[in-house]
Structure 1
Amino acid sequence: MSSSEPSYQEYASSNALSKTIVPDKIDYIFDVKPILSDRCYLCHGPDEGTREAGLRLDIKENAFGAIGENLDRHAIIPGDLENSQLVFRINNPDQEKIMPPVHSNLTLSDYEKKVLTKWVEQGAEWKDHWAFIPPTNPNVPEIENNILAANEIDNFIINKLSQKGLTPSEKATKEKLIRRVYFDLTGLPPTLHDLDSFLQDQSESAYEKVVDKLLASEAYGERMTSEWLDVARYADTHGYQDDLERVMWPWRDWVIHAYNKNLPYDEFIKWQLAGDLLPEATLEQIVATGFNRNHKITQEGGVIDEEYRVEYVMDRTNTTAKALLGLTMECARCHDHKYDPISMEEFYGFYSFFNQLKEKGQIGYSEIPKPNIEITPKEIEDVLSFIKMPDSIEKVNLMVMKEDDDFKRKTHILGRGVYDNPTEEVEFSTPAALLEFTDEYDKNRLGLANWFFDEKNPLTARVAVNRLWQQMFGVGLVASMADFGNQGDLPSHPELLDWLAITYREDGWDTKKMLKRIAMSQTYQQTSKTTPKLQTTDPNNVYLARNTRAKLTAEMIRDNALSVSGLLVEKVGGPSVKPYQPEGLWAETTSGQGLTKYIPDTGESLHRRSLYTFWKRTVPPPSMTTFDAASRDDCTVQRQKTSTPLQALVMLNDPQLIEASQTLAVEMLNKSELSDEERITSIFRKITSRNPDSSELNNLMEFLENSENNFNPETSKIETSNENIAPEKIYGLSTLTSLVFNLDEAIVKG
């Protein structure tokens, strides 16, 4: 790229949000293509059913080709405004000739017309989709004030901010910063001891020591696994109508173990895709392949076996594409992908990698789907020590991937995607627009796994670092985590994304190192407070002149309550558990077979981390789904973000939160040496990670007094029987604790 040509970063910076000033140099990817996609593709795009005048604007050869009955006109002639029909039609005042046509209800703004016109005038330079071009290592931008940058990430961010006339925000307070990084790296809040230690440590390395401690903790692996369970569509039941129980939790134990020992990302993925095909595969590597058996399986009588077997292969295909490539490859199941260069033939070539398993579409009620492996205490003692199997269980059978050498299933394109309509046979292949699957790769899942991590693959590293960025900032550099294709969002910081992707690969796919790099950046350490200028210039915080204010996940909200109240049982791994849940939910949605009644656990199992909550696909944990947890029916790489009245009702009435409120209140009341003011301060600090100010403290003191005075033993939902403490005291402080749990500040990470 010449020094005079603006970079992708500069294009995005100058025009990603502001749509008023036309850029000096028009870029096809960032300026033109979004307009064509939104305003023109309906009639002149990939859909043959709606295409008009034989004109396609999504393919270069068609867009620049001759059109009209006599092929004597062109929509676009580079540099020729007078004879380019596109320019003539979009600027035509005649309502019969203007494009888009009036009846389409689509219009171009003056800004958009100027962009398209200027693009043609400047030569109509066409570029391939950015995500399908392998990343190249960009130069780290130089900035005027190096004191603002802790590492290279900040150079990219500050360079963009300066182009928009913005500057980074001040650093977050130590209380806010430690709360944020604890939740991001462990999913749990800091304790008062953690807070005090950090506040008292005035050394330059104080924050770095906290980050290192969190990355070395077992809670880190649990936090990372919580994200991966959505991607892997993990559940404890088979799904479909009968939805009976399955055993997959040993695979979950492996994921926790893999993250905690910092297994390089390339190995983490290769083991899950093809651990069974590795030379002299270990039992651990075979356990890892449970990833590809997390899909739903039917046990219903009367189903067509092949129909459902095909669905399982489809699931594995689509999950792998979404999780590792960020592509909607499933769109090519029934026809060539309308927006991305993926044909049906390529889809089924990709599908063929997962089509070689000897498996049944329908299994019996007591049947364990094959292939599977038996895990006993002996295997655990010898090589699988990371699996936490209780003494009460003698053995478990885990579904895994295993191919027979003497078995080879042919793969055919399925007409309209239907199992009983096979057409032409296809071989193992991948989308050529990404990277051709050549003879240098083995023709199996291991070959596919190696294809993913070929340096020339344009997407694997980008998608991986984008997921880590989303974990730390709430939104990825590419906001559409599930779609890096033509219809997805453009990267907000394309050069930074490529730098991170290449650095991740060159660092040996070291996930902990990458997360530390992000956490140590000044960009991450900024306050999340906004200003009137930022609200006007960058309301969605695309430029990152501040940190993002993000709500805690469903798991974190519950785990926060358990942790600060002292109820949390910090036991790693093992079978899933059944905490509190409203009565009767399972019975309402069952066919009468198997799991018809939910029986909550007792003892420590009631208070395990939410990561271990038993997941029934047809009735997921209701409190968690209320807070946007994924259903786990299929691969989810990005949860919805909602704020609803139901969430407020859960916070006020969930038995787990009521119990946590009461437990924390009683703990404070048992400390007879404390005043009410000190108790309130301690509760507030535990839940929000900061001290209340004088106004907040006065309001809470008044609330406590009113609550105690209004105590009615007949209507109280809180258990107040304690021979050492007056019931109105328990009720008052429990109600106050519940109030603090319901503060908006209590359910955000920063």
Structure 2
Amino acid sequence: MKKGPNLLFIFCVGFFLSGMTACKQTPGTQQADEVMPDTVSYNFNIRPIFSDKCFKCHGPDANKREAGLRLDLPEEAFKALRDNPKSHALIAGNPSLSEVYLRVTSDDSTMMMPPPSSNLKRLTGFETDLIKKWIKQGAKYEKHWAFIAPKKAPLPKVKETAWPKNEIDYFVLGNLEKKGIAPNEEADKERLLKRVSLDLTGLPPTLALMDKFLADNSPNAYEKVVDQLMKQPAYGEKMALHWLDVARYADSHGYQDDNYRSAWPWRDWVIHAFNNNYTYDKFITWQLAGDLMPNYNKEQLLATGFNRNHKMTEEGGVIDEEYRISYVADRTNTFGKGLIGMTLECATCHDHKYDPLSQKEYYQMFAFFNQVNEKGIVSVVGGPETYAKKPMMEVTNADIKGILNFVNKQDSNKLIVSIMGDTSRKTFLLKRGVYDAHGDEVEAGTPKAILPYPASYPKNRLGLAKWLLDKQNPLTARVFVNQQWQELFGRGIVKTAGDFGMQGDLPKNAALLDWLSVDFRDHGWDIKRLIKQMVMSATYRQSAVISPEKLKMDPENELLSYSSRARLTAELVRDMVLATSGLLNKNIGGPSVNPYQPPGLWEMASSGRGQLATYKQVHGPGLYRRGMYTLIKRTVPPASMGIFDASNRDQCEVRRLRTNTPLQALVMMNDPTVLEASRVLAANLMADKTPLNSKITKAFRMVVCRKPNEKELSVLTSYYQDELKSTNSKTADKLLSVGEFPMPDNLDKIKLAAMMKVVAALYNLEETIVKT
């Protein structure tokens, strides 16, 4: 067997297997060194036990409740038992008389809880001790932690006072020291630069930036790099990428016909807003209610496209009101999941089974978004006027020269965008969630358990934005801070970023989340300040090396004792390949494009009507645009990006899952973009009048973002020599024919093909597409 292909196979298998190691999660892992708290908290110690082991039979679901006992409400839990009025589930201060404690510690199969027939695991000794201590301390129930307005706690006292760089580190180090764990040392400069460059711009650092940073030994060298990266236009693109998932942005309407949608000017606005550091209160208010602001302008109108990114139908014969109601529900649910971290949709048909949200309150929230002057279906597949749905606005050439100068309009064609615009419409509770089963009429309002709606606020979306940004609202700042933390650290402080309710995960460092949330709000909702605060912390700068002890004690890095390794998102995998090869088209904004794609995918899933019935690949510079500009057709999303877990934007998504499959390795080995990038970078290297070792070292630095060690350089050099001997003109021509970018005529094709194989091997390294 030839050594060259064998080496490439090893590289690719290494990419796949090590990716599995890097991203694998261990759900349900219990800490081996549980420490009994001085004061037992219902929210953080008891309720998780009840939720896992008790609420199935003694929780909010009346249909499954046994013995008439509810343990989720104190007024119910302290009542005399229905089947034994002389006994009580809980007696404050007295575990020995509390049936809850007696049952969970009993060995009698007729008495023990959970009963053997429930298939639920028995409580551990530590869990029963927690319940015992909680009862002794008065069995005090608490309002759900996420519904209590956050407050700034004092910074924890720490022993290693030299480690913290800012306030974040005191909270992290305080937790680590309680567990007897030391944080990692700071990552080396090369890996740290790669990490922060990818996190702030979505692009790897250039060789010039690497050299400059490595040569800068000043105390603020890292801060200078952070400031430089945040000033780049690519910063706005990287920040916008997550928001496009939240806003369920796509370039098609969805459903059967799934025709083209001209929503991209709204995407241009999002990039513009992040690059100009619009404060979060402004960013959100304009998107929710720009059309309701006094003396609103066209930019504020464009921002409201956020609310119109949901799927829409163009099919004849559908029931108009049924689809209109689905649009309103989508806007309501997106508000819940994306902005306040609540599963509002669970109350569509009945009261929420876990959170204090009634069905009536759901439709009160629904009422804010039910006034849009729209129809369920307003057209069938047709010309440009159907690319946006009423209410809509035209982006004129005069706008492009004036207030909308950030919109990258590239031709003189008519450009129309869907926006918000209200009429007057009554809202009714819908029985069982059925669109035409009207119950009682409701007025706009918000869940009382979160924050009652102030009478002074108008009952429209502008009032809702004020409610959202009210200092007493416990969720808004927490949810946004958590999402940004997730984007930088790999997981949120609350892992379930879209569910801060009763069934969501508890925050792993509640004091840190609350401190950051209050600090963010009190400093004017300044997004760039928040992001810089996070990346400047010693916590963020840690090495990603995991010792066996830390892997055992903190396998999911919940304590942040090291830097989490995370594979790049789908769009950034593409961006990395294009940027390092020199192919990247850095043009900001504009219409989405169709890069290389396997033939026939759209045609197999198309109704045969409309602009998107057949796939029309773009040519020229458009082929090399960033991943965020790849056209998303909802019914057939981009194949290679889907393999890397990109969202198809059917609905609001606040956290992407990361999977590891052999298909990902096959994409990196065979995707035309990767192969073309390998060829182009190889050609650039071969044009350099430098020794072979220098060429390979340069390629390694550009792709992997660090200098290779001697062994790595030796392996790659040997691989090049082996490929040089085994490649003939025919195989070289076939290999070099991939991609449309022109190939220089003055290069030796055999040598170029061999170097292309080396670059392709580098792209297939696990380290290349993982933040380390």
Q: Map of 1:704-719 to 2, 5 A cutoff?
A: 704-715=720-731, 717-719=734-736
- Residue 94 of structure 2 corresponds to residue 72 of structure 1: no
- Deviation of the 1:722 alpha carbon: 5.4
- Deviation of the 1:110 alpha carbon: 2.3
Structure 1 distance, partners of 2:413, 2:644, is 36
Q: 2:37 aligns with which of 12, 16, 23?
A: 23
Count of residue correspondences? 731
Structure 1 distance, partners of 2:176, 2:33, is 17
Structure 2 distance, partners of 1:81, 1:614, is 62
- Deviation of the 1:16 alpha carbon: 7.9
Counterpart residue number, 1:445: 461
Using structure 2 for the length normalisation, give the TM-score: 0.93
Counterpart residue number, 2:260: 245
Counterpart residue number, 1:653: 670
Q: 2:336 aligns with which of 304, 321, 326?
A: 321
Counterpart residue number, 1:611: 628
Structure 1 distance, partners of 2:746, 2:331, is 58
Q: Map of 1:221-620 to 2, 5 A cutoff?
A: 221-364=236-379, 365-366=381-382, 367=386, 368-390=388-410, 392-404=411-423, 408-594=424-610, 595-620=612-637
Could you tell me whether the CA contact under 8 Å between 2:683 and 2:744 is conserved in 1?
no
TM-superposition CA deviations, 1:350-391 (whole Å, max 9, x none): 00000001111013223341000011101221211111101x
- Residue 765 of structure 2 corresponds to residue 743 of structure 1: yes
Structure 2 distance, partners of 1:690, 1:259, is 30
Could you tell me whether the CA contact under 8 Å between 2:305 and 2:418 is conserved in 1?
yes
Could you tell me whether the CA contact under 8 Å between 1:16 and 1:492 is conserved in 2?
no
- The AA in structure 1 aligned to 2:293 is L
Structure 2 distance, partners of 1:21, 1:76, is 24
TM-superposition CA deviations, 1:691-723 (whole Å, max 9, x none): 111111111111111112221444555216754
Cα pair distance change 1:217/1:20, threshold 3 Å: closer
What percent of counterpart residues are identical?
49
- Deviation of the 1:18 alpha carbon: 4.0
TM-superposition CA deviations, 1:140-187 (whole Å, max 9, x none): 123233321111111111111111111221111000111000000000
Could you tell me whether the CA contact under 8 Å between 1:376 and 1:395 is conserved in 2?
yes
Q: Secondary structure at the match of 2:439?
A: strand
- The AA in structure 1 aligned to 2:702 is K
TM-superposition CA deviations, 1:502-537 (whole Å, max 9, x none): 000111000001111111111111111111221111
Could you tell me whether the CA contact under 8 Å between 1:376 and 1:394 is conserved in 2?
no
Q: 1:131 aligns with which of 127, 133, 146?
A: 146
Counterpart residue number, 1:201: 216
Moved over 6 A (4+): none
Structure 2 distance, partners of 1:24, 1:156, is 19
Counterpart residue number, 2:58: 44
TM-superposition CA deviations, 1:547-598 (whole Å, max 9, x none): 1111111111110010010000111111111111111100010111122211
Could you tell me whether the CA contact under 8 Å between 1:377 and 1:394 is conserved in 2?
no
Q: Secondary structure at the match of 1:67?
A: coil
Could you tell me whether the CA contact under 8 Å between 1:412 and 1:426 is conserved in 2?
yes
Structure 2 distance, partners of 1:267, 1:18, is 46
Using structure 1 for the length normalisation, give the TM-score: 0.96
Counterpart residue number, 1:35: 49
The farther-off stretch of 725-734 and 676-685 is 725-734
- Deviation of the 1:70 alpha carbon: 5.6
Structure 2 distance, partners of 1:234, 1:251, is 9
Q: Secondary structure at the match of 1:66?
A: coil
Cα pair distance change 1:204/1:21, threshold 3 Å: closer
Structure 1 distance, partners of 2:666, 2:108, is 56
Structure 2 distance, partners of 1:143, 1:42, is 41
Could you tell me whether the CA contact under 8 Å between 1:271 and 1:285 is conserved in 2?
yes
TM-superposition CA deviations, 1:203-248 (whole Å, max 9, x none): 1111111111111110000001111100000001000010000100
Could you tell me whether the CA contact under 8 Å between 2:53 and 2:123 is conserved in 1?
yes
TM-superposition CA deviations, 1:88-130 (whole Å, max 9, x none): 1111111111111111111222222222222222221211110
Q: Secondary structure at the match of 2:185?
A: coil
Structure 1 distance, partners of 2:117, 2:35, is 29
- Deviation of the 1:438 alpha carbon: 2.2
Could you tell me whether the CA contact under 8 Å between 2:477 and 2:518 is conserved in 1?
yes
Counterpart residue number, 1:164: 179
- Residue 119 of structure 2 corresponds to residue 97 of structure 1: no
Q: 2:749 aligns with which of 697, 710, 727?
A: 727
Q: Secondary structure at the match of 1:412?
A: strand
- The AA in structure 2 aligned to 1:377 is N
Could you tell me whether the CA contact under 8 Å between 1:664 and 1:737 is conserved in 2?
yes
- Deviation of the 1:253 alpha carbon: 0.6
Could you tell me whether the CA contact under 8 Å between 2:67 and 2:83 is conserved in 1?
no
Q: 1:150 aligns with which of 128, 142, 165?
A: 165
Q: Secondary structure at the match of 1:373?
A: strand
Larger RCO of the pair (alpha carbons < 8 Å, separation 6+): 2
Structure 1 distance, partners of 2:594, 2:664, is 21
- Residue 102 of structure 2 corresponds to residue 88 of structure 1: yes
The farther-off stretch of 655-664 and 94-103 is 94-103
Could you tell me whether the CA contact under 8 Å between 2:374 and 2:390 is conserved in 1?
yes
- Deviation of the 1:323 alpha carbon: 0.7
Structure 1 distance, partners of 2:281, 2:182, is 37
Could you tell me whether the CA contact under 8 Å between 2:334 and 2:652 is conserved in 1?
yes
- Deviation of the 1:282 alpha carbon: 1.1
- Residue 137 of structure 2 corresponds to residue 122 of structure 1: yes
Counterpart residue number, 1:7: none
Structure 2 distance, partners of 1:108, 1:439, is 47
- Deviation of the 1:50 alpha carbon: 1.0
Structure 2 distance, partners of 1:18, 1:348, is 45
Q: Secondary structure at the match of 1:534?
A: helix
TM-superposition CA deviations, 1:608-658 (whole Å, max 9, x none): 111111110111111111101111000000001111111001000000000
Structure 2 distance, partners of 1:196, 1:373, is 48
Structure 1 distance, partners of 2:165, 2:323, is 53
TM-superposition CA deviations, 1:308-338 (whole Å, max 9, x none): 0000000000001111101111000001001
Could you tell me whether the CA contact under 8 Å between 1:377 and 1:395 is conserved in 2?
no
Could you tell me whether the CA contact under 8 Å between 1:185 and 1:215 is conserved in 2?
yes
- Residue 113 of structure 2 corresponds to residue 108 of structure 1: no
- Deviation of the 1:19 alpha carbon: 6.2
Structure 2 distance, partners of 1:687, 1:90, is 57
Structure 1 distance, partners of 2:710, 2:367, is 66
Could you tell me whether the CA contact under 8 Å between 1:240 and 1:298 is conserved in 2?
yes
- Residue 212 of structure 2 corresponds to residue 192 of structure 1: no
Q: CA RMSD in A?
A: 1.4
- The AA in structure 2 aligned to 1:378 is A
